[in-house]
Copies of this chain bind each other. A is one copy, B any other.
Amino acid sequence: MLSTRVRKGRCCQVRKPTIKDVAARSGMAIGTVSRVLNGSQATSEASRLAVLEAARELGYLPNAHARSLRSAHSGTIALLVPDIRNPFFAELARVVESAALDHGLATLLCNADEDAAQFDRYVEVIRRQRVDGVAMIPLGEAHQAIDRVIADAIPMVFLDRHVPDIAVPSVVSDPEPGLSQAVDRLLEAGHTRIGFITGPMASSTGRERFHAYRSAMAARGIDVDPELVSHGDFQEESGMQGSALLLDRGVTAILASDSLMSMGALRTCHARGLRIGQDIDLIGFDDLPVFTLTDPPLTVVDQPIAEIGRHGVEMLLARMAGEQADSVRLPTRLIDRSSTRKDAGSPAR
């Protein structure tokens, strides 16, 4: 392990220039400087130039805390995600942050790390920071932490998941079209024993995807056998175990209801030496880039992540402007690749 010594900087400008310094240097009053910098009121061209020049020379940057303290808005929003390592949330975070920045809003990106306690700590941070708005993917559903944000009257939207009985507008995907297509796909391929790996029933996505699956099956006259349903928790481990269980019960196809569990199912099939798309069919969730690189490329139910993020920010902006906002559901769809066989009885690819 190499090691390089680094000197502590010493010639650093300790006191940062304040609006007062800019006023002094430009020969203007503090109020005028503020007005020029914010464009909040008319100013003469002469003083505008003088102020801007002084600010530039001084390298002046307004103190966000002083501004927030006085003006009751901070120019920041918070985004609270359950797990930033989950590629779905990473992508969502990128979209939200980018859309927010386009509106001049900085994003405090908070990662609950699948931990309710950390979720609560971050909600507290968010409330202390007096952010202008909050976009969150709720973790679990028994949240007095969420109630507090509402009590604080901080504009908020839910992304990806919603919570019953909490009147916060949400942008979520509708699992119905995608799962309906997935069921069709599997049925056409001749499968009679299909396994489903659910998410946690404590999340709206877990419940709704399971419900959409059962509805799709019912629409084709099939009653879902509880034996062929494994209850997971959106983590890879539960996808591994769930698929193992379902395989033991003789399923010929598996539907996993989120990306991490899809990976888990893939891993179990690999471990058992199963030829996916031949011995076993597998349909995953979320169209992650890597799913085209897996063995084999995965047939998946795709969610419109970018639209969820963009729409979510617009909705939050509307709320911040005091407007009303209606929850929306964006459709999912099936992307057919090689983890599902092409015809009944015939091998895939």
Residues of A within 8 A of B (CB): 1-10, 12-14, 16, 59, 61-66, 68-69, 74, 76, 83-85, 87, 90-91, 93-94, 97-98, 101, 106-111, 113, 118, 121-122, 124-125, 127-130, 148, 150-153, 167-169, 174, 236, 263, 266-267, 270, 289-290, 292-296, 322, 324-331
CB pair A129–B329 under 8 Å, yes or no, is: no
Cα–Cα, bound, A87→B129 (Å): 28
CB pair A93–B106 under 8 Å, yes or no, is: no
Tell me the smallest distance from the CB of A315 to a CB of chain B, in Å: 10
CB pair A74–B65 under 8 Å, yes or no, is: yes
CB pair A12–B151 under 8 Å, yes or no, is: yes
CB pair B326–A3 under 8 Å, yes or no, is: yes
CB < 8 Å: which of B68, B90, B169 contacts A85? B90
CB<8 Å pairs between A and B, sample of 19: A3-B326, A5-B322, A5-B327, A6-B324, A10-B167, A12-B150, A16-B152, A63-B69, A64-B125, A65-B68, A65-B69, A84-B90, A94-B111, A97-B111, A106-B110, A109-B109, A266-B293, A267-B292, A267-B293
Contacts of A62 in B (CB 8 A): 128
Cα–Cα, bound, A125→B85 (Å): 24
Contacts of A84 in B (CB 8 A): 84, 90, 93-94, 97, 109
Residue of B nearest to A168 (CB): B6
CB pair A326–B74 under 8 Å, yes or no, is: no
CB pair B294–A1 under 8 Å, yes or no, is: no
Cα–Cα, bound, A267→B292 (Å): 8
Contacts of A293 in B (CB 8 A): 263, 266-267, 270, 290, 294-295
CB pair A153–B326 under 8 Å, yes or no, is: no
* Beyond A109-B110, A267-B292, 14 extra complex contacts between A and B, CB < 8 Å: A1-B329, A4-B326, A5-B322, A5-B326, A6-B326, A7-B322, A61-B127, A66-B69, A84-B93, A87-B90, A106-B122, A270-B293, A290-B293, A293-B295
Tell me the smallest distance from the CB of A280 to a CB of chain B, in Å: 15
Contacts of A7 in B (CB 8 A): 167, 322, 324
Cα–Cα, bound, A168→B5 (Å): 10
Contacts of A98 in B (CB 8 A): 111, 113, 118
Residue of B nearest to A315 (CB): B6
Q: A93-B84, A109-B111, A327-B3 are in contact. Are A64 and B130 (CB under 8 A)?
A: yes
CB < 8 Å: which of B6, B63, B106, B325 contacts A125? B106
Tell me the smallest distance from the CB of A305 to a CB of chain B, in Å: 11
CB pair B91–A85 under 8 Å, yes or no, is: yes
